[in-house]
Amino acid sequence: MEAITRKAVIYGALAHASLLESARRKDLYVAGILAVLMIGAAATIGTFGVKGLELFLKDVALTVIGVLSTVLAVLFAARQIPEEVSHRTVYPLLARPISRADLIVGKFLGAWLLSVVGLLLFAAVAAGALAYYGLSLGAIFGQFLLLRAFALAIIVALTMALSLVMTPGATVTMSLLLAVGSATFSNAVKLLVPSSSSAQQVLLKGAYYVLPQLNLFDLTKKVSYGWQPVSTGAIGALAVYALLFTALFLSLGALRFRRQAL
Amino acid sequence: MSRSSATLTAGTPDVLNPASASAAVAAAAAAPPALSVEKLCVGYRRGLFAPVRRVVHELSLSVRPGEVVGFLGPNGAGKSSTIKAVMGFLTPESGAVSVFGHEAGTTLAKAKIGYLPEVALYYPFLTPLETLRLYGRLQGLGGSALEQEAMDLLKRVGLEGREKQQLKTFSKGMQQRLGIAQALLGSPDLLVLDEVTSGVDPIGRRHLRELLREVKETGTTIFFSSHELNEVAQLCDRVVLIRAGRVVDERAMDETLRAGVTSALEDYFLQTLTEADRDAEARR
């Protein structure tokens, strides 16, 4: 129990420092500006009247929330460890009785919480803009946000793992490709498998199951069409799926970082 | 157990009882060294297929508890690489490093160490107090005791009144003082200082020297590298001189070296390095 409390204190301290640093660095101003741009875009469409465009507006708002929160998460996560090393702030941190894995988990929590704050900011702006035109997103919108938060955990962990083997530019590019192109990749695999040879099928299916299926966390269409909330069981299963992939990527990152000379 | 309580229990034997006194002496003799480096080899590879460039060659040294040891050598001698191996920041090619008997780099070893990096940089948007709170929590401290200790340390290093100022406004010297404060957090048993007065003005340097002397008087072991021979002469019990990753000499800071303070040590430093260069040339 004492060990768990100790870990919680370490992770909390590291995450808190990341959040404080980002807040004072005005990182979330970027999110704020992007959110204002969203309102501006919605207002422009609104001037033409929203009758018959409800579905389109909802779809656009939700897609923007998804894409922008992903971009922010990747940008936050990509710099967590590389900046610690290049700015040499990593030395006094790792001189403390903590492991390198602790540092990765603490930094992950900071980046993830920051991404969730960005997500909620976008969500508030989008909901406000839609409400202005008399549109509401229904109860399933809460689940949409929850699943986005799960997906962001995977994206942040994946980006942090990549940041330990790639340059910052390559990390951002690769992470965005994997995060945004996940759905396209899944659809491509489904299309290609029937016409592939057995060896190719093994490779395609292998890649399908090894890479996280982030489209599973996307409720955009269901929210747009006003579906009823999905079952708690499905949400729970997705939470486990996200936890497993997050743990996998963080473990890979920690393995890489464990013996890296600083 | 904290250092102060350990010092009290180990350092106050019952002098009226000869058996107890001799047991205490035996225990002290059997105690592991504060820092032990045995045949340490450190190398760097500048690419996947590039050959390893070795910068530390079978370096061995030992620091007894309570001792203050200066680690000297010209630029590129391997001082920082050795210190990084002590801190677990790099994995040695071979050799063993331990801190009070614990393998270097482990949380047990790091719990005993206060470390000041060569170039100390901290989060620019945090205040000194927030910085010390962060390191204190990672150290396992907390609550009002941490707050009190952080405030005391800021006062000791001359940063009183600047607790709430963001570090981005701090000069290099002020950051170095904060570095000393974070290294002293939690009263470590061993202080490892890499270029302790780097970037500090003469007044600040004197202040730091006095601070380190106070720390030394509490029985804390100090292992530090420095180019400031004046500091080394005034603080150290012993000096270890390295060149090209090898120990070329080590000796106690006797009165001869201490007498002329800087000049005597400077002569020793230059003479020993020149001899080492001559030997290396002869071997070639």
Domain ranges of chain A: 2-258
Count of C-beta atoms within a 10 Å radius of residue B50: 9
> Which chain B residue is nearest to residue A7, measuring alpha carbons?
B138
Q: What mean pLDDT is predicted for residues A75-81?
A: 94
The whole-number pLDDT of residue A23 equals 87
d(CA A157, CA A159): 5
ipTM of the prediction greater than 0.90, yes or no: no
Looking at residue A46, its pLDDT comes to 67
Residue B12 has pLDDT above 60, yes or no: no
Strand partners, B63: B35
Predicted confidence band at B7 (pLDDT cuts at 50, 70, 90)? very low
pLDDT at A79 over 60: yes
Q: Do residue B107 and residue A94 have CB atoms under 8 angstroms apart? A: no
Kindly report which listed range (A21-25, B16-20, B67-71, B267-271) carries the lowest average pLDDT score. B16-20
Residue from A149, A215, A165 nearest A187 by CA: A215
Residues B110 and A95 sit within 8 Å (Cβ to Cβ): yes
Q: For residue A134, what pLDDT is reported?
A: 83
Please tell me which residue of chain A has the smallest CA distance to B114: A95
Helix ranges (H only) for B31-171 are: 79-87, 107-110, 128-139, 143-156
CATH T-level fold of B67-91+101-283: Rossmann fold (3.40.50)
- Nearest beta carbon to residue A96 from set B89, B138, B179: B138
pTM: 0.86
Contact B134 A17 (CB under 8 A): yes
Find the closest chain A residue to B109 by CA distance. Answer: A97
How sure is the predictor about B21, in pLDDT bands with cuts at 50, 70 and 90? low
B 104-123 residues inside an 8 A Cβ radius of A: 107-108, 110-111, 113-115, 117, 119-123
To which residue do tokens 């981005």 refer?
B168
pLDDT of residue B9: 38
Q: What is the pLDDT of residue B15?
A: 44
Beta bridge partners of A170: none
pLDDT at B234: 82
Structure confidence by residue, pLDDT tens digits, B178-220 = 999 999 999 999 999 998 877 777 887 888 888 888 999 999 9
Task: Spell out the domain ranges in chain B.
Answer: 67-91+101-283
